[in-house]
Structure 1
Amino acid sequence: MIDNVLWLFAMCLGLGSCVGLLAGLLGIGGGLLVVPALVWLLPQAGIESELVMHIALATSLASIVLTSGSSARNHIKLGNVDFTIVKSLAPGVIVGGLGGSAIAELVPTALLPKIFAVIVLLLALQMLVSMRISSLRQLPGPMATVCSGGVIGVVSSLAGIGGGSLTVPYLSWHGVEMRRAIGCASLSGALIAVAGMMGFIAAGIGDETLPAMSIGYVYFPALMGIVMTSMITTRYGAALVSRLPTMTLKKIFAVFLLFISAEMFLG
């Protein structure tokens, strides 16, 4: 048992290194990589197959709480966060994040990987066509913005991601300048991750089949491994942005996501 935990922790150290580097370089959420990686790693560490997807989603969201929180803090210092926009999205993304975790608990276990696969497919296509379109249209009214935030929150929680891939295009489409859109998305992503994580924790409390060192569906050996290295390598990824063809790398990563989506859907 201890050998399995140590092995998983070591694997997650490597996973976190890749996640942090890609997050800093490509500006993507780590959940797109963390969830499928954990779906492959957890069974090999002795985790029951019925629990794997829930643990992967919950642990991914828990890691995003820290990484998005760190990113949001930096964007706030740089003046990239429009708190008026975040406040208008916050009720929706929080309720949506909680709702996504509740839906995941109700959906049959075998169906969750397929839902994740469809979401990843759509996000990969969005990366490939670079749908970062600016327009002069204004953000919709309060109720419509809350509903939009709710949709972003539900989808993000179901995929174990922070939602930046959805929030940035949404804000850009409504005329928000890209720098502020990314800053607002980082803070909104932290809110989604907190809400989704708390929902998965509440859903898993009392489940005696969960492994030791879990709080709800959040599995700490995996979480600590991912966070310990991703928080370090993010800065190196950001430093490489000006040296590497970021858009080309992003499209390559999108193609990689297409393969992940197909594997999750068929497997």
Structure 2
Amino acid sequence: MDLLAFVMNLVLGALLGTVGGLFGIGGGLIAIPALGVLFGLDQQLAQGTALVMVVPNVLLALWRYHQRNRIDPRYALLLAISAFSFAWLASLFAVGVDAGSMRLAFVGFLLALAVYNVARMFMAKAQTSAELRQPWPWLGALGGVAGAAGGLFGVGGAVIATPVLTSVFGTSQVMAQGLSLALAAPSTAVTLATYGLHHHVNWAMGLPLAIGGLLSISWGVRLAHALPEKVLRSLFCVFLLVCAAMLGLE
């Protein structure tokens, strides 16, 4: 990789890291369509390469969120363990699926998320609380579903967990994003390992993306805590629609 390509990937990683910190998703959800559209990578290779950036970004964002808004270790550990187990199984399945079919499934996944999140904007706002509205062991089920999605699509499951935590469990948006990062940390790591072992990772491209993301993700976390919750949710919905459109128009 020449110097210009390295710098371009570094800048792209910085942009994606900022978005990842803002929405508590590590940047993978937008990195995957960006790598597919801009660089022509097939779906599994785009997912695996994006994970090189996502894993360290998620770990740093998790630490930043914990510093600003302490994450309950009981909740975080249950989400992490269940997500790790199901992400590993789903990633083993994902590496053997036809790339074209995986791309269509990913677009459908994004559209479903976008529709759900847009619909939530018109629903009555749930009352948020420091305590969960549902018994905390139910977080294990959420971790399993979100982890499986993360293993299949390489997005860590945080994008599923965040709206469920706010709407079903009654957490604030910031608390939900912090817990979602706790869920995503182990599941993205095991998914990256699986994709790497099956040669679905472009390390030369992924490493500068990761460096750029690490340099910028704290800005996104800081911005997330500064924005009003309604604005943050609205931006998240727009973000999902843009990602779906990017892949759908490719």
Shift of 1:193: 0.6
Q: 1:17 corresponds to which residue?
A: 14
1:137 aligned partner: 133
Which of 109, 126, 148 pairs up with 2:142? 148
State the identity as a percent.
Answer: 24
For the structure 1 residues 99 and 161, does the alpha-carbon distance in structure 2 shift closer, same or farther, using more than 3 Å as the test? same
Rg: which structure is higher?
A: 1
Over aligned residues, Cα RMSD in angstroms? 2.8
5 Å matches for 1:1-267? 2-3=1-2, 8-43=5-40, 52-130=42-120, 133-134=126-127, 137-139=133-135, 141=137, 145-172=139-166, 173-202=168-197, 204=198, 216-240=199-223, 242=226, 246-263=232-249, 267=250
2: CA distance, partners of 1:90 / 1:246: 24
- For 2:71, what is the secondary structure of its paired residue? coil
Q: Do 1:139 and 1:175's aligned partners in 2 also have CA atoms closer than 8 Å?
A: no
* Structure-1 separation of matches of 2:23 and 2:195: 28
8 Å Cα contact 1:134/1:174 also seen in 2? no
Residue 228 of structure 1 aligns with an amino acid whose one-letter code is I
Where in structure 1 are there 5+ consecutive unaligned residues? 44-48, 205-215
Query: What CA distance in whole angstroms lies between the structure 2 residues aligned with 1:14 and 1:167?
Result: 28
Change (3 A) 1:157 1:80: same
**SS of aligned partner of 2:135:** coil
Retained in 1: the 8 A contact 2:52–2:210?
A: no
1:53-99, CA deviations, whole angstroms, 9 ceiling, x for partnerless residues?
A: 22211122232110110011123334521111122222320012112
The one-letter code sitting in structure 1 at the alignment partner of 2:239 is F
Q: Which amino acid aligns with 1:40?
A: V
For 2:217 and 2:136, the matched residues in 1 are separated by 34
Pick closer, same or farther for the CA change 1:15–1:92 going to 2, 3 Å: same
TM-score normalised by length of structure 1: 0.77
Task: Work out whether residues 25 and 58 of structure 2, in 8 Å CA contact, stay in contact via their aligned partners in 1.
Answer: no
Distance 1:81 1:239 in 2: 16
Aligned residues: 240
One-letter amino acid of the structure 2 residue matched with residue 36 of structure 1: P
With normalisation by structure 2, the TM-score equals: 0.81
After superposing the two structures, state which structure 1 stretch, 148-157 or 118-127, moved more: 118-127
Q: Aligned with 2:95: secondary structure?
A: helix
Query: Deviation digits for residues 183-222 of structure 1, max 9, x if unmatched?
Result: 22112111111121122123x1xxxxxxxxxxx3222221
Which sits farther off after the overlay, 94-103 or 70-79?
70-79
